[in-house]
Amino acid sequence: MNVNVSQLINDKVLAIIWRLSGLPFWRMILILSGCIFLLVAIFIILIKIVRGSDKTFVVSDGASMANTINASIYGLILAFFVVAMYDDSQKVQDSISQETDSLVAILKNSQKFNNAPQIRAEVKNYIRVVVDQEWPLMCSGKMDEAWALAMTVIDPLYKVIQEAKPQGPVQENFYAALPGVLHDLDAAHRERLIQADAHLPAQFWRIINIMTILAVFLLVYVNPWKGIMTLLPILIPSIVISFSLGLLITFHYPFIGPFAISNKDYFKGNLDFSDSANAMARVPITSHPLKQNFQKR
Amino acid sequence: MNFYNLFNSKVLEIIRWLDTIPFFEMIGIVIGIVFLVIGVLLILIKIFCKSEEEFGGAAMASEVSAGIYGLIIALILVSLYDARQKVEDGINQETNSLIAILQDSQVLNNASEIRAEVKNYVQIVIDQQWPLICSGKIDEAWVLSSKTINPLYKVIQEANPIGVVQTNFYAALPDVLKNLASAQHGRLQQANTHLPIQFWRLINIMTVLILLILVYGNPWKGMSTLIPILIPGMVIALSLSLIISVHYPFLGPFGISSEAFSKVNAKLLHY
């Protein structure tokens, strides 16, 4: 029972983070700032009630010192995690580049083979499945379905390449490179799917939330209410805390939110099949499904 | 010397134990220990420091200590988090190699035998090696390593590739097997990787010193004195809890699961 409740809370925490990640950036920041301001207000009222009308209350050096210690630890942990999440997001971008580079290498290496048009068609099919089916599943968090699709997406490429009949040293040497390219493609594809679902665990978020509450409380404690001007040294750090949490949330899921990784790499350069140099003769540019899809986006 | 080793192993045992208990129970214990230290320090300072004048200059001292301590805690946390990511990368390399073996070998004459060995590899890892890794029996997990890799080498070396296609896909397999073996070794090595015990001792001493300066700067003047001590105390306890929870990559709430290998099993169902 305890496990189920804990699991439910974890799921809820991640669901809230997911929802916040999907919002427009400034709306998400406003919601976070709103939550923190609400906390500030509650703490101001609570401290006012507890202290009563004691106008002589002076914050001790010790309390300011405690605030420094608190801010150093909390601030640094938050800052390092924002950087770590940003690095993770860069790694996803790298794996997408590796995936598209492998597709280009397959196209280039196979252009002399007897079944080059079929290989080309399978590369296009791969891109179509990734862009039209897998990407929306990743962005909506349906990772099980995305994985189920991934199990089959690369198989036709393997099959068509294994059906080629390379002849002569040129074709045989280019063919020899293809197994390695296929490995890279599959590894990059799987890495993208793994990263799509990679995030900080719910327990981490709980700790960050508790630390945030404690940091805000101490901030209010060391700035006792003495009129509206007292709010300034509370609200400014609160806004900074909101922004930092906002950044952490933004990088939390690499495929959603304002900094979400786009699928434009699958249409660039040699993979832009609408380009006359790359287009297949029998596929008119205007009716190209990928081009249509790209224009819609 | 023996006493020293015994002490070291005890500290690591405690950290391992803390990593295995439920997350909030572990946080509760760490917070409790920090509060206990604060209580002891409060009493000691009350006994030994009678004069108010003795507290001057503590604020500046605390800024230096807090800066260094905070930076070290944050860096260790991120470094352990990165180390955990590397273990995950290694597991991805291992599963990618298994998938590559399945894909490359489908044109070979003994493809079904190779698939059976891949399945056997995955089963041994999930059912036998993983529980051993999680329970810290790394030597026993190493013994199983040869039972997974050797049969795969054997069955792949029994294949008879014919023609350009089979020969080229077969030519890629030695490298894939090498990557598989190195990824598995990496996983087993990382399973027992953790911060050295001396490191933990320094962290603990630094924590006590930070708490001391915190208590020293906030001498007892009633219950309200406790707030600026207990709140940083809790933040310190939460940070230490985070470090403990990422200390062993296969244990605790952030422990890496064997789900990646289950996905290889799912792939096997497609053949």
Mean predicted confidence (pLDDT) in B112-126: 93
Res. A249: pLDDT tops 50: yes
A81 at interface of B, judged by CB pairs closer than 8 A: yes
**What mean pLDDT value characterizes chain B?**
86
Distance from the Cα of residue A215 to its chain's centroid: 27
Q: Would the CB atoms of B270 and A151 count as touching at under 8 Å?
A: yes
CB burial class (10 A; 0-12, 13-18, 19+) of residue A38?
exposed
| Pick from A158, A166, A218: CB nearest B103 | A158
Question: What percent of chain A shows pLDDT beyond 90?
Answer: 35
More confident residue, A150 or A175: A175
| Pick from B103, B175, B254: CB nearest A201 | B254
Q: Would the CB atoms of B66 and A68 count as touching at under 8 Å?
A: yes
Query: A176 contacts in B (CB within 8 Å)?
Result: 168, 171
Question: In chain A, which residue's Cα lies nearest the Cα of B90?
Answer: A191
Q: Residue A167: what are its φ and ψ, rounded to 5°?
A: -130, 140
ipTM greater than 0.90, yes or no?
no
Mean predicted confidence (pLDDT) in A38-48: 91
Q: Would the CB atoms of B227 and A155 count as touching at under 8 Å?
A: no
Predicted TM-score (pTM) of the model is: 0.79
Predicted pLDDT at A56: 62
Give the Cα separation of B69 and A72 in Å (integer): 8
Query: A180 contacts in B (CB within 8 Å)?
Result: 172, 175
Question: In chain A, which residue's Cα lies nearest the Cα of B57?
Answer: A61
Res. A135: pLDDT tops 70: yes
Give the Cα separation of B232 and A214 in Å (integer): 8
Query: A155 contacts in B (CB within 8 Å)?
Result: 103, 270
Per-residue confidence band for A141, with pLDDT thresholds at 50, 70 and 90: confident
Res. A126: pLDDT tops 90: yes
Predicted pLDDT at B1: 52
Residues 6+ apart with CB under 8 A from A285: A274, A276, A279, A291
Question: What percent of chain A shows pLDDT beyond 70?
Answer: 86
* Cα radius of gyration (chain B): 26
| Residue A234 per-residue DSSP state | H
Mean predicted confidence (pLDDT) in B17-41: 91
Predicted pLDDT at A30: 93
Q: Would the CB atoms of B172 and A183 count as touching at under 8 Å?
A: yes
Polymer length of chain B = 271
**What mean pLDDT value characterizes chain A?**
83
Query: B238 contacts in A (CB within 8 Å)?
Result: 207, 210-211
Question: In chain A, which residue's Cα lies nearest the Cα of B61?
Answer: A65
CB B232 within 8 A of CB A117: no
B residues 140-169 closer than 8 Å to A (CB)? 164-165, 168-169
User: How many other CB atoms sit within 10 Å of the CB of residue A61?
Assistant: 18
